[in-house]
A and B are shown apart, each in its own frame.
Chain A
Amino acid sequence: MVQDMRLIELKGVCKSFGDTHVLHDVDLYIRKCEFITLLGPSGCGKTTLLRIIGGFDMPSSGEVLFEGKDMTGIPPYKRRINTVFQKYALFNHLNVYDNIAFGLNLKTPEQLGVKTKKEKKDEIARRVGRMLKLVKMEGYEKRSTDALSGGQQQRIAIARALVNEPEVLLLDEPLGALDLKLRKEMQLELKAMQQQLGITFIYVTHDQEEALTMSDTIAVMNGGRVQQIGDPKRIYDEPKNAFVADFIGESNILDGVMLQDDLVKFSGTEFQCVDEGFGTNAPVDVVVRPEDIMIVGEDVGMLAGTVESVIFKGVHYEMMIRGEGAGESILWKVHSTTMQPVGTRVGMTIVPYNIHIMRKATTADAVPVAQAAEEEA
């Protein structure tokens, strides 16, 4: 199937700037026509990885393959890849039309499928017109780029890249400067464009919600390493380690012991779960999403606790609930549509398939995870 064709493949890519190691041995492949997001906190190396794919930076070691051929030393202007830059990078000395036509003007008439210069001009006008329609900016041809709002500049930057009909479009936090509402609209539009054009999109963001909304595949990065690759649902439901669990969505991450297959103990209580193969009495990290904890009567729950704080979050209430007995050190984050007043004693229940078990991160990994979580906060 075309879907499974590996368009770009990174093999053991490392990158250092002086003594700073930004990427460690990254292996990653990108399939044709997929929307892949490189997701991670600032400084995780995601932008550097994108720049290596674009040809703006060279890897210190490792290979970048394009359709199986090594393209490590190929300059950006010879790659069938175009980029939407973080701060748009529109050419201020050119108007909207000339910005979009920039790449096409550099091509010969033959490359555009026509014979004469006159025909080339007409062909460019046709393609630019089509792009302006795609990004909903018809009628703005003669405008100066300074006269556009952030969102409009972003649309022109996208049109300027897409008009060249690249195999791959790279997007470096393209929506970072837009307000929330506009950002949500653009997310859907970008996704629609990608599906309509059938181009591979490689998208960089630190916004996990954005990644979950748009992507076919997410590569979660931290500390210059890819932590986990998978489709959004898998990443959300089955985070591979505490970093991913913490970075994607909200979670309660607890110390636990895997007593045997399908039985885990945390917060001083034994729970049925659906995870196997960890051995017996193995220390593990346990992830429970706040929305997966059900509040029940104080005496019928698997756990009991007292509500310490309540915040209204729009769709749900976020409650912090202090555990009891052996679980006294645990402050549970619980999302629920019904509110329990502060000071109420409640019971909590978790069903087996909502308990996610992860192998304990080694101490070496644990430090950057904590740092990254702080940065994000």
Chain B
Amino acid sequence: MVRNNRTVRSVRAVWMTLLMLFLYAPILVMIALSFNASVSRSQWTGFTLDWYVKLFHDPAILGALRTTIEVAVIATVISTVIGTLGAIGMHAMNAGMANVLINVSYLPMTTPDIVTGVSLMLMYLFCHVPLGKWTMIMAHIAFDIPYVLFSVMPKLKQMNPNLYEAALDLGCHPVKALYKVIIPEITPGIFTGALLAFTMSLDDFVISYFTSSDMYPNLSRIVYASTKLGVKPTMYALSTLMFATILILLILVNKRTKLENL
């Protein structure tokens, strides 16, 4: 009876709308402003793509874009290799040891970014490693690995345990069995993990901020720096593009995960 009650339904609809507004209104405002012809934040003077054009003519932003992509690609490749091999190793271990390792691997995902960022920075300074692009890449690899690990592990669990033995049975050396049978069999998981790692890399600001320097700014650092000088609409355009890219990547990851679980 309660379900069909009209008041309950309308309350529910209002609640949902408020919730969505609360979550997405700021982003919608930002997206709208990125198409606003006026520099003013308070009045709409017409639609324009000028800010997007300007964005792609700004050498600082283009440089940061390059850094961001470079860092994301390198970190993704390396973390995917380490994460995949790690997952396979943990899968082969006895349950007790593997459980300890799995829980240890979860920790970095739940630690606040600022703690990860500050602690990495401290470690680099302690070891006298100058902060720059490579320290940022190493930091990214570190926080990407768990994402790969937890995308690959379920695939290994689902896999028929006889597949590896079948490969040995047909004449494969263990290493050959790994890349001829195991890796192809868990490729969907590896790909999802890589996609997720790439997204996390693009998305990151806090950890990058602490582990890199102004000499090698990535996009999020540029956005942050620009807020100190008064935000220009190009920044809205840049943020809109970053939001869209990450949204698309996450939708892709989601779709893949759904497909795999069919």
Contacts and interface: CB of A to CB of B under 8 A. Distances in A.
Contact of A86 (B162, B171, B172, B185): B162
Interface in A80-99: 81-83, 85-87, 89, 91-94
A102 B185 CA distance: 15
A94 B170 CA distance: 15
B156 interface: no
B162 A164 contact: no
Most buried by B among A86, A93, A160: A93
Contacts of A56: 165, 168
A164 B165 contact: no
B165 A93 contact: no
B169 interface: yes
Given A54-B169, A85-B166, A93 B185 contact: yes
Interface in A14-66: 54-56
A82 B184 CA distance: 22
A1 interface: no
A94 B166 CA distance: 14
Nearest to A78: B171
A83 B171 contact: no
Interface string B145-174: 000000000000000101101111111110
B181 interface: yes
Contact of A103 (B163, B170, B173, B184): B170
B169 A77 contact: yes
B187 interface: yes
B160 A89 contact: yes
Contacts of B180: 102
Nearest to A75: B168
A161 interface: yes
B166 A83 contact: yes
Interface string A100-111: 001100110000
Chain B interface helix/strand/loop/mixed: helix
A81 B173 CA distance: 15
A76 interface: yes
A94 B187 CA distance: 13
A138 B146 CA distance: 46
Given A103-B171, A164-B171, A92 B165 contact: no
Nearest to A76: B168
Contacts of A76: 165, 168-169
Contacts of B166: 83, 85, 89, 91
B171 A77 contact: yes
B150 to A, nearest CB: 22
Contact residues on A (Cβ < 8 Å of other chain), bracket: 20 to 34
A109 B166 CA distance: 22
Contacts of A91: 163, 166-167, 181, 184-185
Interface residues of B, number: 18
Chain A interface helix/strand/loop/mixed: loop
A75 B168 CA distance: 8
A21 to B, nearest CB: 19
Contact of A87 (B160, B169, B176): B160
B130 to A, nearest CB: 45
Contacts of B181: 91
A78 to B, nearest CB: 9
A82 B160 contact: no
Nearest to A163: B170
Nearest to B164: A89
Given A76-B165, A91-B184, A160 B170 contact: yes
Contacts of B167: 91, 102
Given A85-B162, A86-B162, A87-B160, A93 B169 contact: no
Contacts of B172: 77, 106
A345 B168 CA distance: 63
A224 B34 CA distance: 75
A105 to B, nearest CB: 9
A334 B74 CA distance: 77
Contacts of A164: 170-171
Contacts of B170: 77, 82, 102-103, 106, 160-161, 164
Interface string A181-196: 0000000000000000
Interface in B186-214: 187
A83 B185 contact: no
A89 B171 CA distance: 15
Contact of B165 (A89, A102, A103, A106): A89
Contacts of B163: 89, 91
A160 B162 CA distance: 14
Given A56-B165, A89-B160, A91-B163, A77 B185 contact: no
Nearest to A92: B185
A241 to B, nearest CB: 34
Given A77-B171, A77-B173, A103-B170, A85 B165 contact: yes
Contacts of B171: 77, 103, 106-107, 164
Nearest to B181: A91
A89 B162 CA distance: 6
A282 to B, nearest CB: 48
Closest 6 CB pairs of A and B: A89-B162, A103-B170, A93-B184, A89-B166, A85-B162, A76-B168
28 contacts: A55-B168, A56-B165, A75-B168, A76-B165, A76-B168, A77-B169, A77-B170, A77-B172, A81-B169, A83-B169, A87-B162, A89-B163, A89-B166, A91-B166, A91-B167, A91-B184, A92-B185, A93-B184, A93-B187, A102-B167, A103-B170, A106-B170, A106-B171, A106-B172, A106-B176, A107-B171, A161-B169, A164-B170
Given A55-B168, A81-B169, A103-B171, 19 more contacts: A54-B169, A76-B169, A77-B168, A77-B171, A77-B173, A82-B170, A87-B160, A87-B162, A89-B162, A91-B166, A91-B184, A91-B185, A93-B184, A102-B167, A102-B180, A103-B170, A106-B170, A160-B170, A161-B170
